[in-house]
Chain A
């Protein structure tokens, strides 16, 4: 075999391998989504949203407590996390642009985005659960907000940096203060980007389980009291899937179905908005 055919064969093998790898990635995605859909749809019914859980082993009831709990915990986390993230991002992209402090915060935030979420749970447990002696919805929200702040901060920074500097200069030339420029010019120009970033951040924390395990814990009863342990969809999935009852497994699939579908739709929609708005 001469060297030319050898090179060609080597090349074809490598290219075939790459193609197979790409389709393997797709295969897993389709496999997982298909499985979640298949098991989830059969387990879906109206009671799931309207009823609270029945006693263990009895195949009735729903997950109303977990839906409401998830909504409460995530909303409070959003109320705490989003302003802090947006303001922090504004500071490092505007007032502190180009300084070492801005660089440091930006890098540290990037690291915090990927830090193990279960560690966040242990931290919040130490400061918000142990001193009070009981699990609470507040603690769960604090843990999710902790995860949210760096995510929102980084997207805000990126989006503000996409606003052309000349736009600001034009406003400065008219005698506007920097606060005015940020409020009326920069935020407006970057609004779509920041909003979609916030929605992606909410979608991200809505799927978190580990930080809630020992902060908001779980509750088989319906409650709106954030000072008590509150059920969340994700922790419920964990408990139900690990539990012994067939009915629990079905409910876990149904909850998994809803979380997956919501998060995938939100992610696809927001990504296409960013794609369409910024052409990236």
Chain B
């Protein structure tokens, strides 16, 4: 307190104003949780947590709501998107740090980061008008032909290929998250000290062995951080998947079937909810999504902070 008294008036006033501005972050997070919880209390009361999560039914007419189908869609699209995006982005990062000629590094790096700047609605629209027809006419029939007679796997590709389905949505999501993973991995790879790499080369290691055994282990914390960050982003992505998922509340093994994610359900049904319990259930979905992505993003941040400490040593 003594220190405060010594401060000039201008500092006291400006300090107080800027403090309240910084404090709004806490206020916003806190009030988001409180408001969403409050709005969903009707649904929480009626359905409970586990019952809500494991009920597949989403029936506005009978007023029975369950999150299972939306959660399933969210998880499948996110996991599939990561499955496609991780190898590609790490490949991009390796190319940019170890293979590409110096003169190409910056332009290609910027071009890949441009992918991250394109608004998600553009991805969604492009997916609907360009990618979905290509998927329906060429890629999905081909997949059916290849895997049609393989037991178990053929279940993944059953149904009429119409392009508006889990697979198309996952591919669009994977394109969207690739730049996040790629640029964080590239930055982490770049932090590997040259002297460590040179020592490995001196022992006769090939370029790939240096990457696999020196660069990737050295920067794995940063790469994990990037992947988890992309996971958090993919979970909450709305517009890129809203166009090509069909918003159908069902759980099917086939990737060629329409589905719903939490975000798509919210985007399509929020303004149409005509009963209190319907709206409340939608708020419940929003609350679950918020807590889920908040936790995952916090984990990502934990990895990235740890990585930062690791490199500073």
Chain A residues close to B by CB (< 8 Å)? 7-8, 10-12, 14-15, 17-22, 24-26, 28-29, 31-33, 35-36, 39, 83-92, 94-96, 101-102, 105, 107-112, 114-123, 125-127, 146, 149-150, 153, 177-180, 182, 203, 206-210, 213-214, 217, 234, 237-238, 241-242, 249, 252-253, 256, 259-260, 263-264, 267-268, 271
Contact = CB atoms under 8 A, between A and B. Distances in A.
Interface size of B as a range = 35 or more
Interface stretch (B42-50, B56-64, B146-154, B228-236): B228-236
Contacts of A242: 128, 243
Nearest to B123: A32
B227 interface: no
Contacts of B209: 7, 11
Contacts of B290: 115-116, 119
Contacts of B122: 32, 36, 207, 256, 259-260
A150 B301 contact: no
A125 B267 CA distance: 13
Contacts of B10: 177, 179-180
B301 A111 contact: yes
B301 A118 contact: no
Contact of B95 (A21, A89, A241): A21
A18 to B, nearest CB: 4
- 7 closest cross-chain pairs (CB), A and B: A116-B236, A21-B91, A207-B119, A87-B21, A11-B208, A91-B18, A22-B95
B121 A207 contact: yes
14 contacts: A7-B206, A22-B112, A26-B108, A31-B130, A88-B24, A91-B22, A105-B22, A110-B297, A123-B31, A150-B25, A178-B15, A180-B10, A241-B124, A263-B119
A88 B294 contact: no
A209 B268 CA distance: 13
Contacts of A249: 129
Contacts, number: 275
Nearest to B32: A123
Interface residues of chain A: helix, strand, loop or mixed (majority): helix
B270 A25 contact: no
Given A11-B206, A207-B119, A91 B129 contact: no
A110 B301 contact: yes
B268 to A, nearest CB: 9
Most buried by B among A12, A180, A210: A210
A10 B118 CA distance: 36
Nearest to A27: B175
Most buried by A among B239, B267, B305: B239
Contact of B212 (A14, A19, A217): A14
A179 B229 CA distance: 37
B195 interface: no
Contacts of B94: 14-15, 18, 21
A21 B129 contact: no
Contact of B293 (A84, A115, A126): A115
Nearest to B38: A126
A32 B29 CA distance: 35
A14 to B, nearest CB: 4
A147 to B, nearest CB: 10
Given A26-B111, A177-B11, A241-B125, A95 B18 contact: yes
A230 to B, nearest CB: 15
A234 B125 CA distance: 11
B39 A126 contact: yes
Interface string B118-139: 1111111110111000000000
B112 A29 contact: yes
A122 B283 contact: yes
Most buried by A among B18, B22, B39: B22
B212 to A, nearest CB: 7
A111 B126 contact: no
Given A125-B270, A213-B270, 7 more contacts: A24-B88, A35-B130, A119-B36, A203-B117, A207-B118, A207-B119, A217-B271
Given A35-B126, A87-B21, A29 B111 contact: yes
A90 B119 CA distance: 29
A28 B22 contact: no
B22 A114 contact: no
Given A29-B115, A88-B21, A179 B8 contact: yes
A56 B43 CA distance: 37
A210 B262 CA distance: 13
B43 to A, nearest CB: 13
Given A22-B108, A119-B290, A213-B271, A241 B243 contact: yes
Contacts of A19: 91, 95, 99
Contacts of B277: none
B178 A25 contact: yes
Contacts of A153: 22, 25
Given A22-B100, A249-B129, A210 B238 contact: yes
B239 A210 contact: yes
Contacts of B142: none
Interface string B79-103: 0000000011111101110111000
Given A15-B99, A18-B91, A271-B110, A209 B21 contact: no
Contacts of A150: 25
